[in-house]
Structure 1
Amino acid sequence: MTVDPLAEIVMLLEPTARFSKLVECAGSWRIHRETTAEPFYCAVLEGRCRVSVNGQPSMTLQAGDFVLVPAMHDLINESLNAPPAGVTTRPIEVREGCFRVGSEDGLAELRMWIGHCSFGSPDAALLVPLLPQVVLAREPRLAILMQLVGDETRARRPARELVLERLLEVLLIEALRCGGAETTSVPGLARGLADDRLAAALGALHARPEYPWTVAELAAEAALSRSAFFVRFGRTVGLSPMEYLLAWRMALAKRLLCEHDLGIDQVAKRVGYSSASTFSVAFARHAGAPPARYARMCPKGGNQPAGRQK
């Protein structure tokens, strides 16, 4: 069975739209967006600008570029002829969903779609670090997806929330898939999947999370020695193989407890535990509540309870 770990993690994060807007810029300007720890994305439609995320060196963006920041802590977006250090510009709403930055007169020199979304998963704090810190993708079709998100956000059509959820899943997966060599080289799942050897092990782990994997068996999937695999996995993904396996099993267990009418023993078996008691101890240590109580806290409709992350 073929499993895409990246798609699984994005869907498990449960992205929901907060807002999306068009920003037009002219002249000399600088916008400083402070810590939100939420996903931020931006597609440049016309023109050029600079952006610096979480204190990293600035990047020059141009038409067709798409930036995704899964957890934004600090972002500076500015014109190439930016004002003096410390000077920031306040966006002005000129019409619904459209903001002007910098000079209010003349044609816009830069047009971009920006947006924020939230992750509904109680394991977001665990799953987000598996993604790259910043993704830069040079794929114009991502701007089209962003425009669809913006249109759907402002509309009041039937099934709006479901459509937005699916659009955001596609947008995030496309951004992570297209980022490729442009993505920063910090440890995470994207780096692991870019490594052919580790990708084989990750694919096997996601395809059979219930299997009693050992480091040696995962190393065999990667065609590496046990020691070489262990070091390479930790350096590239940012977690040891068994830490990653535990994190993924617990994330799956939470979804199974909330979305399916299954007994604790059935959930335990599906995520690789030989007994309900062993699973219950591991789950309570991870989630802060026994699985039975956690399942009772799930709202009707299958969403996972908020505030349970650890």
Structure 2
Amino acid sequence: MPHSTPSSSARLSSRDLDELITLLEIRVLGLSECLVSEGFVLELDGNDVPGIHYILSGTGVLHIDGAASVRLSPHTLLIVPPRHPLRLEVPTQGAGIAPTVISGREHKHVVDSIKRFRAGSTEPMTVMICGYFNAAFGASIDLFEHLSAPIVEQFDASDRLDTYLRTALDELMAQEVGAGAMSGALLKQVIVALVRRSLKTSALWMERFALLGDPQIARAFADMTARPSAPHTVESLAQTACLSRSAFMARFSATIGQSPMQALRDMRMRQAAVQLRAGELALDQVARNAGYANRGAFVRAFRDVYGASPTEFRMKKLTA
């Protein structure tokens, strides 16, 4: 008898989780350095996408709009939901001395395409790397889209997250060919480290994200991401999830924010976009690889997702 509600004890298998993480695409939208001296507070605006913040050195308190304040030490990692302004405070040692508040918007410098925010003129007490990113499956399915509260994890120097983030920063500063892809790959290592840590702590990864909070839906989603060109139907995916058709449709839409067929279309179009960028396959082959026997249907679906025909998309990418 198929289950219609998620079980609190259900877990996504290691194999399914590994498939999902492998197929997750990380895109770095910006990285910056924040340097704060003792007795100062650095204010940072929120962003429309999730933020990642990592303490390289020093201590302090991070005040997150709409959430509890977080005490910081070296190797603290935070993932902050979109549209959550921050205040990084490094208290003075003297009692009763009010900190000086500095607006990051008004005190930033661009060094080799990297923003550097500075609060205080003395030696910085605390150094934090900040970034904004997308972590998505397909054209529009974002793993962190429904994140409502910050994730806070304490790592160690042996985890080497500082190395990944410093190297990503160096890549963006150098602006060499492939810098975006390299920085995305480095940030993905940080996300993988977070997954591993989350699975070992009481605050489980599955409980933090809508997609992984329902293992039955995640299992079907993993099958879709691994084999986007397969002849999936709502019925076959419901069977993979061990759910009735109606229960699967309702839970999938509630979890992903799209119907199963809409999500599958986006995954197929993402695969097609990758192959079109490469410029090696004929359009009909790209369409077949995406699960479309009819070229016209493929062109219409691609235009719906990317706002251009496959031919226009390919020419634009090849001449960019």
Q: Does 1:24 align with 2:60?
A: no
Partner of 2:289: 270
Note if 1:170 corresponds to 2:194.
no
Unaligned runs of 5+ in 1: 306-310
Identity %: 22
Query: Displacement of 1:24 after TM fit?
Result: 2.9
Amino acid of the structure 1 residue aligned with 2:77: F
Q: Do residues 73 (structure 1) and 83 (structure 2) align? A: yes
Q: Please point out which of 216, 229, 241 is paired with 2:260.
A: 241
Aligned residues: 282
- Tell me the CA shift for residue 159 of structure 1: 7.6
| Aligned equivalents of 1:250, 1:80: Cα separation in 2 | 47
Contact 2:29 / 2:133 at 8 angstroms: preserved in 1? yes
Name the counterpart of 2:228. Answer: 209
1:197: Cα distance to partner? Answer: 1.5
TM superposition shift of 1:81: 7.0
> CA separation in 2, counterparts of 1:117 and 1:76?
13
CA pair 17-281 structure 1, distance change in 2 beyond 3 A: closer
Does the C-alpha gap of structure 1 residues 8 and 19 become closer, same or farther in structure 2, counting only changes over 3 Å? same
Alpha-carbon shift at residue 297 of structure 1 (Å): 1.3
User: Which residue, 24, 43, 56 being the options, matches 1:9?
Assistant: 24
Name the SS of the counterpart of 2:243 in structure 1: coil
TM-score w.r.t. the length of structure 2 is 0.70
C-alpha contact 1:32 1:88 (8 A) present in aligned 2: no
Question: Hey, what's the Cα distance between the residues in 1 that align with 2:273 and 2:204?
Answer: 33
**1:137 lines up with 2:156 in the alignment:** no
* Distance in 1 between residues matched to 2:135 and 2:247, nearest whole Å: 36
User: How much does 1:223 deviate?
Assistant: 1.4
Q: Tell me how far 1:182 sits from its aligned partner.
A: 6.8
Tell me, in whole angstroms, the C-alpha distance in 2 between the residues paired with 1:120 and 1:238: 16
Aligned-pair CA distance for 1:191: 2.8
Instruction: Give the unaligned 5+ runs of structure 2.
Output: 1-14
Matched, 1:41 2:41: no
For residues 288 and 198 of structure 1, the distance between their equivalents in structure 2, rounded to whole angstroms, comes to: 29
In the alignment, the residues of structure 2 paired with residue 157 and residue 285 of structure 1 have an alpha-carbon distance, to the nearest angstrom, of 33
Q: How does 1:145-156 map to 2 (within 5 A)?
A: 145-154=164-173
Per the TM alignment, residue 80 of structure 1 is displaced from its structure 2 partner at its CA by 8.4
Shift of 1:173: 4.0
The residue type equivalent to 1:101 in the other structure is: A
Paired AA for residue 300 in structure 2: V
Return the alpha-carbon distance in structure 1 between the equivalents of residues 146 and 192 of structure 2.
12
Q: How far does residue 205 in structure 1 lie from its aligned partner after superposition?
A: 0.9
The amino acid of 1:136's aligned partner reads V
CA deviation profile, 1:137-171 (whole Å, cap 9, x unmatched)? 33343334223333555568998666434323323
Select 2:119's aligned residue among 72, 96, 101.
101
Cα distance in 1 between the residues matched to 2:174 and 2:123: 30
Q: Which amino acid aligns with 1:27?
A: G
Separation in 2 of the partners of 1:233 and 1:206? 14
CA RMSD of aligned residues (A): 3.9
SS in 2 for 1:209: coil
Tell me the CA shift for residue 218 of structure 1. Answer: 0.9
Any idea what SS the aligned residue of 1:298 has?
helix
Q: Pick which of 156-165 and 198-207 moved more.
A: 156-165
- CA distance, structure 1, for counterparts of residue 174 and residue 307 of structure 2: 39
TM-score (norm 1): 0.72
Counterpart residue number, 1:196:
215
